[in-house]
Amino acid sequence: MGIFTIHDLIFKSAFSKKRKIRLFLKTFLSEPLSSLLDFHHIQILPQEYSISQDKIFIDLLIKIKFKHKPQFLYILFEHKTKSDFHIFSQLSFYLNTLSQIYNIIENKEAIFCIVFYHGKTKWKIPHHYSEYIKFYSKEKDYLYNIHYSLYSLEALNEKKNRTNLNDHYLIYLFLMMKYYYNRDYVKKILNEIIQERIIKKKESIKMYEELLIYGSNLVDKDYIENLLKEIGGNMSIQLPNPWIEEGKKIGLQEGLQKGLQKGLEKGLQKGLQKGSSERNKEIARKMFEKGYSVKEIREITGISYKKLKEILNNQIR
């Protein structure tokens, strides 16, 4: 939850392709889970859901078939660029909502949660709720215990990343995400994209334009434009569909039509903040309907008590 950023947009774009998701999951998931799944049957599910008159937004949800069972495993991705101690409340809300939408309990299926993290500091939050609240006695087995698997780019091994992923786009994207605040290293990666001449098919140019523009906040615009010219791209490219749709949702259509760079520099934060505010109101109403306490709603949405009372039509005291 919260404001969409350039990191959110490129994450959604990268994982809008089944092949990229398949490569990532085969690398990330461990045994025995990995061997139980049929990676040829992956379905990318919607990121926006309407419940009654409310809407929720998620970063990525897929379902993948088990090899020897009729059921599916749902995999929920939550993208983070900073440690967020609200992660358990957030996942709980998503899990309860998605379980109802897809009848997961009735179908004897399950949701597997992955937190995809890259940020300036180390991720410090335990993976299990029982550990987060320091409930270590044997009674913890009876708790409602949410847990997730963490994929943290801070632990990314560059050599293994290049060997295991076997996909230039994901290799360079993950490295740029990890070292995003290291200007010199990002510049090195951008140069490598060009020097290796990895752009061979015309249809693949768009993906690498995304990578170059993703790094454009850290290096001079003229430098990026020169690199783009070498691969036959330009700064006025049309954004990938997931980026455009996300921008429309948060009121940035005009800025996005002028290109990602101008949108980020001039119109992004204002539009995102407005969209985030409306989104949090919708989430607050839905959480209240599901019985969440005022304290929990305020912690997750950041809405003040006075504003929350207005949103809920004075239903709270």
Per-residue b or e along 142-163, where b marks 16 or more CB atoms closer than 10 Å to that residue's CB: eeeebebebbebeeeeeeebee
Please check the confidence at residue 223 and state whether its pLDDT lies above 60: yes
Domain spans in the chain, listed from the N-terminal domain onward: 1-155
Predicted confidence (pLDDT) per residue in 82-127, tens digit: 888 889 888 988 998 899 899 998 999 999 999 999 988 899 899 9
CA atoms within 13 A of residue 164's CA, in its CB half-sphere? 14
Top-confidence residue, 75 or 135? 75
- The proportion of the chain whose per-residue pLDDT surpasses 70, expressed as a percent, equals 70
Predicted confidence (pLDDT) per residue in 141-190, tens digit: 656 678 999 999 987 877 776 777 778 888 888 988 998 888 888 888 88
Q: 170-178 long-range contacts, Cβ below 8 Å, gap at least 24?
A: 170/14, 170/20, 170/23, 170/24, 172/211, 173/10, 173/14, 173/211, 173/214, 176/211, 176/214, 176/215, 177/7, 177/118, 177/153, 178/118, 178/153, 178/154
What is residue 311's predicted lDDT score, i.e. its pLDDT? 82
- The proportion of the chain whose per-residue pLDDT surpasses 90, expressed as a percent, equals 21
Query: What is the three-state SS of 163-198?
Result: HHHCCHHHHHHHHHHHCCCCHHHHHHHHHHHHHCCC
Please check the confidence at residue 1 and state whether its pLDDT lies above 70: no
User: Comparing C-alpha atoms, which of 148, 225, 211, 206 is closest to residue 177?
Assistant: 211
Q: For 63-67, 202-206, 222-226, 310-314, which range has the lowest pLDDT when averaged over its residues?
A: 202-206
DSSP per residue over 32-78, as a string? THHHHEEEEEEEEPPSEEEETTEEEE-SEEEEEEESSSS-EEEEEEE
Cα separation of 214 and 224, whole Å? 10
What is residue 9's predicted lDDT score, i.e. its pLDDT? 83
pLDDT-based confidence at residue 60 (cuts at 50, 70, 90): very high
User: Comparing C-alpha atoms, which of 233, 275, 235 is closest to residue 253?
Assistant: 275
Query: Averaging pLDDT over each range in 109-113, 225-229, 251-255, 299-303, which range is the top one?
Result: 109-113
Please check the confidence at residue 26 and state whether its pLDDT lies above 70: yes
Predicted confidence (pLDDT) per residue in 289-316, tens digit: 877 788 877 777 778 888 888 888 766 6
CA atoms within 13 A of residue 59's CA, in its CB half-sphere? 27
Rounded mean pLDDT of the chain?
A: 76
Phi/psi zone of residue 52: left (φ > 0), alpha (ψ -120 to 50 degrees), beta?
left
pLDDT-based confidence at residue 139 (cuts at 50, 70, 90): low
What is residue 232's predicted lDDT score, i.e. its pLDDT? 62
What is residue 102's predicted lDDT score, i.e. its pLDDT? 93
What is residue 266's predicted lDDT score, i.e. its pLDDT? 46
Query: Beta strand 54-57 with 48-51: parallel, antiparallel or unpaired?
Result: antiparallel
User: Comparing C-alpha atoms, which of 256, 252, 282 is closest to residue 270?
Assistant: 252
Top-confidence residue, 164 or 42? 42
Predicted confidence (pLDDT) per residue in 66-92, tens digit: 998 899 999 999 999 988 888 988 898
What is residue 213's predicted lDDT score, i.e. its pLDDT? 75
Its pTM stands at 0.69
What is residue 248's predicted lDDT score, i.e. its pLDDT? 46
CB-based contacts of 139, cutoff 8 Å, min separation 6: none
Q: Are 233 and 211 in contact (CB under 8 A)?
A: no
CA distances from 165 to 15, 24, 160, 292 (A): 14, 7, 8, 41
